[in-house]
Amino acid sequence: MTKAKLLYVETFGCQMNVSDSEKITALLKGAGYNLTKDSSIADLIILNTCSVRAKAEQKVYSYLGRFKGFKGKNPRLLLGVGGCVAQQEGERLLEKVPYLDIVFGTHNLHLLPEIVLAAEKGRRLAEVSFIDNEKRLDLFPTDDTADGISRFVTIMQGCDNFCSYCIVPYVRGREISRRSSEILDEIRKMADKGVKEVTLLGQNVNSYGLKSRGEPDFAGLLQEVAGVSGIERIRFTTSHPKDISPPLIACFAELPKLCGHIHLPAQAGSDKVLSRMNRGYTRKQYLEKIAALKAVRPDIQITGDMIVGFPGEDEADFRETLSLMEEVGYADLFSFIYSVRPETKAAEYPDETSRLEKQERLERLQSLQRKMTLEGNRSFVGTRQQVLVEGTSKRGGQLFGRSSGNRVVNFAADPSLIGKIVDVAVIKAFQNSLLGELISG
Ligand code: SF4
């Protein structure tokens, strides 16, 4: 009997990559590879990379160095790099890392079984070509083995916005939307397998369908997804503030299945910095969109991203970021110190702020956010939340799930409730979660 081949996947970066890694796993299962969580016994190690921040890119090289040692123990071990670093570096990566076997780009996931087969026969190869609009179906390999309670569904890829700091349009290509019929088909199949919640995924989901004739816009797509029976909750990420349209805002009032949470990255609070970032909106316009969302869904939870220390950001600009955070009342925030990405416009900007000062600003911002997150969590104590139960929590004897507003809630109950939406009374708040008591199952 031939021994099963083992696949280990290391994922860096965003949810898009998490979703791509799931597809990589499903595609390679068809090529005879079973997933392992132990990299030291794998026959194929894939690093699904991110190059949005320089740190993530450096990590890839350090991981590759670590995995190189495994080749001595297992001569048939193959090492592959996919994702944004692969897209950016292509053949160069094979030259830089002589023990690397495979490089595949963000548009080439569907070719992976063939690429791996060739590598098993001793070929080293890099496939990083972009796909044109006509062949876009190949960009979205579906995972028919998908099950679970909550799943990602990729609806578009790439971005046309060219924010001055961002590498995505260069490594993921221009915006391409998937056909709505295929999206709905995939979601119906998921619902048949017991999936209850879908998160529609893309670099800028709000501009879904705008370049495709005969397709709905994003609000229209949400309405169609809401019509799929068995799907009880819908989320989406990521949104660009300039593309939040009135029909999309209306969906938060009209579609009960649409969860009360939106991830809406502002990136900065000062108009000067927003303009240098080429974000396409002002602070006032951003706050108007937030107000419109709160008007139709007063309990909506807002999360976002902030970049600290963008070239030219001074103390007054930074204070505008802090005040924007307070005005919005973010439930949570991803925040980072700006890092230069080659080829982007911002790479040419002079940057006079010291690293130390940027670090200090980041700490002030994160300390404010921690306080706001805890206060926000405390405001739920005494409320009743509908929780989709996702599994058993790390604490023994408890289940965990998420409220419509995306707060993690732990509570004691029977595991038979996993996959159901239940009412939970919130009795205690922590920094990262809520504790509740089951009201009804
Ligand atoms: S909207 Fe801006 S930050 Fe987001 S992926 Fe596009 S270019 Fe990058």
pLDDT in tens, 161-190: 999 999 888 888 888 899 999 999 999 999
The yes-or-no verdict on residue 138 having pLDDT over 80 is no
Q: Is 344 in the pocket of ligand 1 (CB under 6 A)?
A: no
Rounded Cα gap, residues 189 and 177, in angstroms? 20
Judge whether 373 and 332 are in contact, CB under 8 Å.
yes
Give the pLDDT confidence score for residue 155 in this predicted structure. Answer: 94
- Summarised one tens digit per residue, pLDDT across range 54-78 is 677 788 889 999 999 999 889 899 9
Residue 169 Cβ < 6 Å to ligand 1: yes
- 125 strand-pairing partners: 102
| 80: enclosing H helix or E strand | strand 78-82
Nearest protein CA to atom 8 of ligand 1, as residue: 166
**Is any atom of ligand 1 closer than 6 Å to the C-beta of 204?**
yes
Q: How far is the CA of 162 from the centre of ligand 1 (A)?
A: 6
Question: Fold identical between 132-259 and 270-379?
Answer: yes
Determine whether the shortest distance from the Cβ of 241 to ligand 1 is under 6 A.
Answer: no
CA–centroid distance, residue 425 to ligand 1 (Å) = 38
- Ligand 1: atom nearest CA of 52 is 8
Please answer whether residues 88 and 170 qualify as being in contact, where contact means their C-beta atoms are separated by less than 8 angstroms.
yes
Determine the average pLDDT of the residues in 260-265: 97
Residue 29 has pLDDT above 90, yes or no: no
Whether 162 lines ligand 1, by a CB cut-off of 6 Å, is yes
Q: Which long-range CB contacts under 8 A does 90-93 form with residues at least 24 apart?
A: 90/126, 90/128, 91/126, 93/126
For residue 440, the CA-to-ligand 1 centroid distance in Å is 42
d(CA 401, CA 407) in angstroms, rounded, equals 8
254 SS3 class: helix
Q: Which residues contact 99 (CB under 8 A, 6 or more apart)?
A: 64, 68, 71, 79
* Topology of the domain comprising 270-379: Transcription Regulator spoIIAA (3.30.750)
Supply the pLDDT for residue 212: 83
In the DSSP assignment, the letter for residue 207 is G
CA of 159 to the centre of ligand 1 (A): 6
When mean pLDDT is compared across 11-25, 59-73, 113-127, 133-147, the lowest value belongs to 133-147
**Mean pLDDT, range 117-133, rounded to an integer:** 85
The reply to whether ligand 1 has any atom less than 6 angstroms from the CB of 161 is yes
pLDDT band at 136 (very low <50, low <70, confident <90, very high): low
Residue 255's pLDDT band (cuts 50, 70, 90): very high
CATH architecture of 132-259: 2-Layer Sandwich (3.30)
- Name the band, by pLDDT with cuts 50, 70 and 90, for residue 13: confident
Q: pLDDT of 77-116, one tens digit each?
A: 999 999 888 888 888 999 999 999 999 988 888 889 999 9
pLDDT, one tens digit per residue, over 386-415 is 999 999 987 778 999 999 999 999 999 999
Residues 372-398, mean pLDDT to the nearest whole number = 93
Q: Which of residues 17 and 237 earns the better pLDDT score?
A: 237
Q: Give the mean pLDDT of 251-257.
A: 98
Instruction: Identify the pLDDT of residue 150.
Output: 93
Are 177 and 142 within 8 A, CB to CB?
no
The tokens of 8 are what? 């280990």
CA of 244 to the centre of ligand 1 (A): 14
Q: 156 C-alpha to center of ligand 1: Å?
A: 13
Question: What's the one-letter identity of residue 363?
Answer: E
Task: Tell the residue number behind the tokens 């990521």, with chain if given.
Answer: 238
217: left (phi over 0), alpha (psi -120 to 50) or beta: beta
> For the chain, what is the total number of helices (H) and then of strands (E)?
14, 19
Q: Which atom number of ligand 1 is nearest to the Cα of residue 160?
A: 6
State yes or no: pLDDT of 1 exceeds 60: no
Which of these, 115, 106, 196, lies nearest to 158 by C-alpha position?
106
Q: What is the CATH number of domain 384-440?
A: 2.40.50.140
Is 70 exceeded by the pLDDT of residue 132? no
- Residue corresponding to tokens 């104590």: 381
State the closest ligand 1 atom to the C-alpha of 267, by its place in the atom list counted from 1. 3
Nearest CA to ligand 1 atom 2: 163
Q: Is 264 in the pocket of ligand 1 (CB under 6 A)?
A: no
Our measurement of the distance from residue 255's CA atom to the centroid of its chain's CA atoms, rounded to an integer in Å, reads 23
Write out the DSSP string of 122-178.
Answer: T--EEE-PPPPGGGGGGGS---TT--SSEEEEE-EE--S---TT--HHHHT-S-EEP
| CB-ligand 1 contact for 263 (6 Å cutoff) | no
User: Out of 153-157, 220-224, 274-278, 356-360, which region has the weakest mean confidence (pLDDT)?
Assistant: 153-157
Q: Classify 71 as helix, strand or coil.
A: helix
State which of 157, 170, 240, 345 you would mutate to test the pocket of ligand 1, scoring each by most atoms of that ligand within 8 A of its C-beta: 240
Rounded to the nearest 5 degrees, what angle is found at the Cα of 107, between the Cα atoms of 176 and 40? Answer: 140
274 ligand 1 Cβ < 6 A: no
Q: Where are the domains of the chain?
A: 5-129, 132-259, 270-379, 384-440
DSSP-derived 3-state class of residue 216: coil
**Which residue did the predictor score with more confidence, 51 or 310?**
310
The Cα diameter of the chain in Å comes to 69
Q: Does domain 5-129 have CATH number 3.30.70.260?
A: no
Q: How far apart are CA 376 and CA 330, in angstroms?
A: 8
Best mutation site among 16, 52, 172, 204 for ligand 1, i.e. most ligand atoms within 8 A of its Cβ? Answer: 204
